[in-house]
Amino acid sequence: MAAALDAVLVRHEAGEAPVATFDPSTGGLIVFSDQHKGARDGADDFRRSERAYNAALAYYFHKGHTLVELGDVEELWEEMPSVVIGRYPRTFELTRRFQDASRYWRIFGNHDDLWSFPDAVKRLLRPMIGENLEVHESVILELPAGESTCRLLLVHGHQGSIMSDVYAPLARVLVRWLWRPVQRLTGWSPNTPARSWDLRNTHNRAMHRWAEQQEGLLLLAGHTHEPVFVGGSKAEQLERQIEEIGNPESAAGRSRLAALSAQLEWTLAARDDQESPESKTERQVSNAYFNTGCCCYRDGDITGIEIADGQIRLVRWPDDSGDPEPEVLAFADLAELMESGSAD
């Protein structure tokens, strides 16, 4: 995997992949990945999340954000592209608004790598999203972070993985002819709701180790369907909020402290039962790698990475009350990240 990601950077250095300046003062950035839009049948993981995703697109468009769709937006291992495109006209219409406003970046993943071919993009995708659309393997965005410049590598994250990259032709056959019929019959989805955002699997840990070795670079990927915000787990976010409250004098403050303390203990107990030893060991490592999670959880929620107001945030739609608003699950200050050397 490290060699594959190194090759991605080489292509940027050679001018074969885009490096662009992004000014967050003109609006934020929202990154979503792994929608896996299908045929709106029992094998379509996105159909439950369509409502949350469309609401999020409307919200971020009017907020002035730039939208990044970070790969596996369409499920083309299971379905023909014309079928998928015809099933979600409203979602494509909402996406097109960003493209028309020159606030859209599109990255291809392993399940929609058809878009790595410009002719396919021209014939099938541009009529839905916009005539000037380009789809990239990766993008580097450079944005100010205090007195530093933050370089953000946006890539789907399948590069170098065995089944998703090396043995992709075999994986396509297995997905289309074995997994898809089973899922159509049962409607079952393996994408469990987002409950944690620590480093939980080998792929995410490998991505993080690579990112830690890069100078002045943050890595933002998808692919694993597991949100990652290293150094900013749910428990650590709760601890930070409790510390900020201190010793409140008001009844409302004490009530808030009580609620946060209960959430912290609830989270710690669940995490200790479920975490692998590797995840516990790596919990405190530097925050150089972020993962969006996905937009096809079985409960209909979606997660993404938002950059705005000098912060990088892991967000979930809908919020804890079920309303169409973002719930901030974890956050960090970009300038502090750069100053602390977490990306150096």
Asked whether residue 86 is assigned to any structural domain, the reply reads: yes
Task: Report pLDDT for 17.
Answer: 93
Question: How many H helices and E strands in the chain?
Answer: 13, 13
In a domain, 70, yes or no: yes
pLDDT at 147: 78
Q: Are 110 and 159 in contact (CB under 8 A)?
A: no
CA 314, chain centre distance (Å): 8
In a domain, 18, yes or no: yes
Q: Are residues 296 and 260 in the same domain?
A: no
- The burial class, CB within 10 Å (0-12 / 13-18 / 19+), for 82 is exposed
Does one domain contain both 177 and 258? no
pTM over 0.75: yes
Q: Is 168 exposed, middle or buried (0-12, 13-18, 19+ CB in 10 A)?
A: middle
Task: Return d(Cα 169, Cα 84) in angstroms, integer.
Answer: 20
Domain residue limits at 153: 2-233+286-339
- Whether 254 and 198 have beta carbons less than 8 Å apart is answered as no
List helix spans (H) across the chain. 2-13, 50-63, 81-87, 89-100, 118-120, 126-129, 168-174, 180-186, 202-212, 234-245, 251-274, 277-281, 334-339
Asked whether residue 211 is assigned to any structural domain, the reply reads yes
In angstroms, the CA 298 to CA 315 distance is 17
Number of domains in the chain: 2
Regarding whether 274 and 176 lie in a shared domain, the answer is no
Same domain assignment for residues 42 and 179: yes
Do the beta carbons of residue 171 and residue 162 sit within 8 Å? no
Say if residue 318 is preceded by a cis peptide, omega within 30 of 0. yes
Q: Is position 344 within any domain?
A: no
Claim to verify: residue 316 and residue 329 sit in the same structural domain: yes
Residue with tokens 């976010």: 237
Task: State how far the alpha carbon of 233 is from the alpha carbons of 14, 69, 75, 299, in Å.
Answer: 36, 24, 30, 21
C-alpha dihedral (122, 126, 130, 136), degrees to nearest 10 = -70
Instruction: Count CB-CB contacts under 10 A for residue 150.
Output: 22
Residue 179 within any structural domain of the chain: yes
How far apart (Å, rounded) are the C-alpha atoms in residues 32 and 68? 6
Please report the pLDDT score of residue 91 as a whole number: 97
Residues making up the chain, counted from first to last: 344
Q: For residues 304 and 42, is the Cβ–Cβ distance under 8 A? A: no
Q: Are residues 206 and 292 in the same domain?
A: yes
pLDDT of residue 252: 84
Residues 196 and 245 occupy one common structural domain: no
Q: Is 50 in the same domain as 194?
A: yes
pLDDT digits (tens, 9 = 90+) for 106-151: 999 999 999 999 999 999 999 999 999 999 999 999 988 777 888 9
Task: Note the pLDDT tens digit of each residue in 203-256.
Answer: 899 999 999 999 889 999 999 999 999 755 667 777 877 887 889 889 888 988
Residue 134 included in any domain: yes
Residues of the chain with pLDDT under 70: 160-188, 231-234, 271-286, 340-344
* Cα separation, 156 vs 225, whole angstroms: 11
Statement to judge: residues 22 and 169 lie in one domain: yes
Q: Is residue 251 located within the same domain as residue 102?
A: no
Inside any domain, residue 212: yes
> Residues near 260 by Cβ (< 8 Å), separated by ≥ 6?
238, 241, 242, 245
Are residues 175 and 120 part of one domain? yes
CATH code for the domain of 105: 3.60.21.10
Nearest in space to 308 (alpha carbons), one of 95, 25, 22, 21: 25
Beta-sheet pairing, 302-308 with 311-317: antiparallel
> Would you call 13 helix, strand, or coil by DSSP?
helix
* Same domain flag for 76 and 207: yes
The pLDDT of residue 228: 93
* Structure tokens given for 63: 């907020």
Instruction: Count other Cβ atoms within 10 Å, centred on residue 327.
Output: 16
The predicted structure's pLDDT at residue 344: 44
